Chains A and B, each alone.
Chain A
Amino acid sequence: MSEIISDLNTIDKESIRIAKKYKQKNKNAAGSKEGTFTKIAFISISLIFVVLMLVVPLISVVINSLKLGLAFYIESITTEYVISAIRITLLATVIAVIVNTFFGIVASWAITRFNFKGKQILTTLIDIPFSVSPVIAGLSYIMTFGRMGWATPILDTINEALGTDIQIAFAVPGVVLATIFVTFPFVSRELIPVLNAVGTDEEQAAALMGAGGLTIFRRITFPHIKWALLYGIILCTARALGEFGAVNALSKTRGGTFTLPLEIDALYLSGSADSITASFAVSSILVIISVIVLILRNIVEYKVKK
């Protein structure tokens, strides 16, 4: 019995070796003169494009930010406005990531594990933030929670009843809501294909043995999706940190509800040479964060592939 299995193993190994050899050969065939030229041309075009369009501008941001010296750099990223902006940005990002992670898991689970009418519609609806301009997202919240908004009377009633003073439009909750809206699809978009690919066999097997929903998720499903989930969270974080349009529509108080991108914009628009350099300094924070996110993303992507 085991002899046959080991026999099969050697056969397998042999066929893999042959396949590899064949691949090698194909590679060499593609390495003919014409192939090499095309290859070099394509690689150079993409490389030049990426460097000119992305890398050079980003480096210039960092260089510009240090134009007036390190002391000025540190001074400009520690002003009251900037600190407040960092605080608001982090707050909005953390809440958006938590909410969207939870929502993303629930939605992708519903879409991949249940059959229901309107499933296709739900899938499409989740993607709305990808297709709708963020500014419109921001405006739609103003139309909802602003002075003329239909939900404002409801909010007022609640405030009166509880003796609170919760504001949404032009206040921190509005910024958070706008950020959530824009980063809505990232987690579920990553999870849905993975959940579909894994299938339900293992979950069914566990359920048949008497495992409850939570146990199945923790022991069976989660190991499958954890890297995709982390990847989705990273993308969601990156997007939340940099969101401008939607937040811009709902946030008008510098030092109160401004996020980092808004603060950068305000500094730049104020026009003096100093403030423009300061805006570059603040920008460099976001650039550094993006680089970190990029590295994390690559690590996770590598793990996912593995």
Chain B
Amino acid sequence: MYLELKNINKKYGDYKASDDVNIQIEKGSLVALLGPSGSGKTTILRMIAGLETPDSGDIIIDGVRVNDIAPAERGIGFVFQNYALFRYMTVYDNIAFGLELKKVKKSDIRKRVNELIELTGLKGLEHRYPNQLSGGQRQRVAFARALAPNPSLLLLDEPFAAIDAKVRKELRSWLREMIYKVGITSIFVTHDQEEAVEVADEIIVTNKGRVEQIGDPVSIYKEPETPFVSEFIGQSTLIKNYYKLKGFEQGDYIGAIVRPEFVEAFKRDNSDFADVIDSSEVGTVTDILFRGNSLEVRLDVNGIELTTHRSLERRPIYIGEKLRVIVYRLFAVDEHRAYLLENTELQKKGFKDRRLDTYIYNENKYVVI
């Protein structure tokens, strides 16, 4: 294990920012710390960097306990949320700053800085000041600056928060590519699950100072272990009387979480679903929202509100129309854990899910939520 957090606790007054946090990260991995705001993810990042001190517990980097080692000696590159670029220094000087502090030879500094400028595609902007750059360019400078002294661990605090939505998507794949190219162990903080899923190969979900689940994006998505994860990941609705849905029986749960892709709604005369029509029930369309690449359809099934997505290629539907509805599966939750429940009617008949597999994975095997 390259980075290890052992039984970390941190309190701000009465507020537990870290509650017995245990994390292990392998060398070379790209990890996302994902959670809602106030979940303690940034605190974890700042403690690793040494910007905060844990009340108890050990932080171990490469086999060395670093709790008492100064932040600058930990071999960490840090990208701040707003990048914190030095406003009165040029792009070149920003990147060179860390090397100058290390008293690196001038010629070596020039070589390294130019190398990074080349790598990050900032050529021609060396003599600009940060306020003359776009959000994306600033992120590149922050990235290059953090990498300049050759750190062995890169920490990024909400690296995309300061960028407008349009460019953000581009930068995600750019950052992922860069990190792989450099081959540096990286941890980034985000509250955006789409971002975490798209960029990271391992996700640590945090909530209220606790680590809820650690795993790769697919397992976090498909096998949520706790009520929080099952509700937080994906577009989820919690329903109380799930047992009223056809194919599900009441168990010792407090409710169930249904995602849009678990719900199938089709017209009565749709021959594709002729064999499963017995297992379906009536749902009334209560609302239709245009989501660009699909429709988001709200349905009333037995008094339960369900949401599903509908391809624009399929036949049009209208509000008030009665459709046939099948719920393939749901996550039943009790106080502590989440359990996957399959539709028993479909299972009994040996029918398989018609769309889930094609829905979750795109051609790169990444999860699409």
- Do A and B come together as binding partners? yes
Across the A-B interface, the 9 shortest Cβ-Cβ residue pairs: A210-B72, A223-B88, A201-B84, A209-B98, A205-B84, A210-B101, A5-B134, A202-B84, A208-B71
- B28 at interface by CB-CB < 8 Å: no
Known A202-B87, A220-B86; judge A5-B136 contact (CB<8 A). yes
Residue of B nearest to A5 (CB): B134
Q: Does A214 contact B (CB under 8 A)?
A: no
Q: Is A206 an interface residue (CB 8 A)?
A: yes
From residue 91 to 107 of chain B, which have CB atoms closer than 8 A to chain A?
97-98, 101-102
- Classify chain A's interface size: 20 to 34
Segment from B164-172, B300-308, B340-348, B356-364 that makes contact with A: B164-172
A9 lies within 8 A of chain B by Cβ? yes
The residue on A at minimum CB distance from B81 is A201
- Contacts A202-B84, A211-B101 known; 8 new A-B pairs at CB < 8 A: A1-B174, A4-B167, A201-B80, A206-B86, A206-B97, A208-B72, A210-B73, A224-B87
Complex contact A201–B101 (CB within 8 A): no
Instruction: Give min CB distance, A190 to chain B, whole Å.
Output: 18
Indicate if the CB atoms of A8 and B166 lie closer than 8 Å: yes
Are B86 and A202 in contact, with the CB atoms below 8 A?
Answer: yes
B150 at the interface (CB under 8 A from A): no
Residues of A within 8 Å of B166, CB to CB, are: 4, 8
Of chain A, the residue at the smallest CB distance from B102 is A210
Q: A8 and B167: CB pair below 8 A?
A: yes
Q: Which residues of A contact B87 (CB under 8 A)?
A: 202, 223-224
Q: Is the pair A1, B170 in contact by a Cβ cutoff of 8 Å?
A: yes
Chain B interface size, under 10 / 10 to 19 / 20 to 34 / 35 or more:
20 to 34
Measured CB to CB, the residues of A under 8 A from B are 1-2, 4-5, 8-9, 201-202, 204-211, 215, 219-220, 223-224
Q: State which residues 124-162 of B face A: CB under 8 Å.
A: 134, 136-137, 149
Instruction: Kindly list chain B residues whose C-beta atoms are within 8 Å of the C-beta of A5.
Output: 134, 136-137, 167
**Cα A219 to Cα B97 with chains together (Å):** 10
CA distance A206 to B102 in the complex (A): 12
Q: How far is the CB of A219 from chain B (nearest CB, A)?
A: 8
Q: Which residue of A lies closest to B71 (CB)?
A: A208
Task: Answer yes or no: B114 CB below 8 A from chain A CBs.
Answer: no
A22 to B256, CA, bound (A): 52
Give the residues in chain A near B102, CB-CB below 8 Å.
210
Cα distance A68–B101 when bound, in Å?
A: 65
Residues of B within 8 A of A219 (CB): 86, 89, 97
- Which residues of B are at the interface with A, using a C-beta cutoff of 8 A? 49-51, 70-73, 76, 78, 80, 82, 84-89, 97-98, 101-102, 121, 134, 136-137, 149, 164, 166-167, 170, 174
- A211 to B149 alpha-carbon distance, docked (Å): 13
- Residues of chain B within 8 A (CB-CB) of A211 are 72, 97, 101
Decide if B170 touches A4 in the complex (CB within 8 Å): yes
Cα distance A243–B51 in the bound complex, in angstroms: 47
Contacts of B85 in A (CB 8 A): 202
B50 proximity list for chain A (CB < 8 A):
208
CB distance from B97 to the nearest CB of A (A): 6
* Contact assessment for B84 and A210 in the assembled complex, using a CB-CB cutoff below 8 Å: no
Which residues of chain A come closer than 8 Å to B51, judged between CB atoms?
204, 208
Shortest Cβ distance from residue B157 to the other chain A in the assembled complex, whole angstroms: 11
CB<8 Å pairs between A and B, sample of 15: A4-B170, A5-B167, A8-B166, A202-B84, A204-B84, A205-B80, A205-B86, A207-B71, A208-B71, A208-B78, A209-B97, A210-B98, A211-B101, A223-B88, A224-B88
Bound CA span A201–B87, Å: 11
Asked whether A215 lies within 8 Å of B136 as measured between CB atoms, the reply is: no
Residue of B71, B82, B86, B166 ringed by the most chain A CB atoms within 10 A: B86
* A2, A9, A209, A215 pick with most chain B CB within 10 angstroms: A209
B71 touches A201 (CB 8 A): no
| B36 shortest CB reach to chain A, Å | 23
Q: How far is the CB of B343 from chain A (nearest CB, A)?
A: 43
A201 adjacent to B149 (CB under 8 Å): no
Q: A208: which B residues are within 8 A, CB to CB? A: 49-51, 71-72, 76, 78
> Complex Cα distance A210/B121, Å?
26
Report how far A254 CA is from B173 CA in the complex, Å: 79
CA of A137 to CA of B98, assembled, Å: 49
A268 CA to B85 CA in the complex, in Å?
A: 58
On whether the beta carbons of B84 and A209 are closer than 8 Å, the reply is no
Instruction: State the CA gap A208–B149 with chains docked (Å).
Output: 12
Measured between beta carbons, the chain B residues less than 8 angstroms from A1 are 121, 136, 170, 174
Most chain B C-beta atoms within 10 Å of own C-beta, residue among A2, A208, A220: A208
Check if B72 sits within 8 Å of A209, measured CB to CB.
yes
Which among A205, A207, A211, A220 has the greatest number of chain B C-beta atoms within 10 A? A205
CB distance from B65 to the nearest CB of A (A): 19
With A1-B121, A8-B164 known as contacts, the answer to whether A215 contacts B84 (CB < 8 A) is no
Q: Which B residue sits closest to A1, measured CB to CB?
A: B170
Chain B residues near A202 (CB-CB < 8 A) = 84-87
In the bound complex, CA of A4 to CA of B166 (Å): 9
Taking CB atoms, residues of chain A closer than 8 Å to B89 are: 219
> How far apart sit A219 and B51, CA to CA, in the bound complex (Å)?
21
Q: In the docked arrangement, what's the CA distance between A1 and B70, Å?
A: 38
Q: How far is the CB of B89 from chain A (nearest CB, A)?
A: 8
